Amino acid sequence: MARGWESKSVEQQQAEMGDQPKSSRRPLSSAQQKVNRKREGLLLSRTSLVRQLELATQARHRRMLEQAVAEIDRQLADCEQDNQTSCT
């Protein structure tokens, strides 16, 4: 009988935990979500370009990739500076 009471308590605790919000952070506005998506896309592009740069052997191709990485770095800096205006 004690086991039955114990399992009911566990079930009740699990139900109560399910009712609580998963994260304590406040939801992001649509503008903030857009900025975050843009930033994540820039970071992914930068990662890809850096990998290509590591493998590039021709000087012209390396220069092009270096310029692209520099441009992405500039855009990321703009995103960090003003979270919404330059990055959108």
List the chain pLDDT tens, one digit each, 88 residues: 555 555 667 777 777 777 666 666 778 788 888 888 999 999 999 999 999 999 999 999 999 999 999 999 999 998 888 565 556 5
Q: Check residue 68 and give its pLDDT.
A: 97
54: tokens are 């590591």
- This prediction has a pTM of 0.62
Q: How far apart are CA 42 and CA 23, in angstroms?
A: 26
Residue 25 per-residue DSSP state: S
46: tokens are 């930068």
